[in-house]
Amino acid sequence: MMTLGICRQITLKLLTSTNWLAHEMFGAFRPTSVNLGGLLWKTPWKLSITRKANARARLKKVDTVIETVRASGIQCGALEKALQLPKEHEMDPKDKYTVFSATSRGYRKGIHKVPKWTRLTLRVNPKGF
């Protein structure tokens, strides 16, 4: 009986003293393992259906803004450049969801891999790619 009590005390003491370690190791903000190379960007390798739909909707909204500015009669260089861009319905799916990348295999990478891709105009790629 005495040994069982001592075992309980020892296990309780171990649990309370190592609780901080277990919390840090398995908590919500656990650090990335060093053998995985440090900081790990958890970007999916392809766009989900929802993110593709949001990208298409964003392109359509930009098209309506360009058309509204053109209909207002304002003349400027930025509008001339914007009118030369293809509209969302004229673009191939390949051009909607990927961009040219000289360093990627196949010379294409997902549009979501580009930093700040939701704020950039990524409608035109080099010819042949």
Question: How many domains is the chain partitioned into structurally?
Answer: 1
Does 34 reside within a domain? no
Does 99 reside within a domain? yes
| Residues 6+ positions from 46 with CB-CB distance below 8 Å | 110
Please state, as a whole number, how many other Cβ atoms lie within 10 Å of the Cβ of residue 33.
9
Does 32 reside within a domain? no
- CA–CA distance, 115 with 45 (Å, rounded to integer): 15
Question: To the nearest whole number, what is the mean pLDDT of the chain?
Answer: 82
Does 28 reside within a domain? no
Residue 93's pLDDT band, with cuts at 50, 70 and 90, is very high
Domain of residue 103 covers 49-113
- CA–CA distance, 74 with 126 (Å, rounded to integer): 30
- CA–CA distance, 32 with 34 (Å, rounded to integer): 6
Does 94 reside within a domain? yes
CA–CA distances in Å: residue 123 to residues 1, 54, 58, 64: 77, 15, 12, 15
The stretch 107-115 carries a mean pLDDT of 95
Does 92 reside within a domain? yes
> Is the whole-model pTM more than 0.95?
no
Does 58 reside within a domain? yes
Does 80 reside within a domain? yes
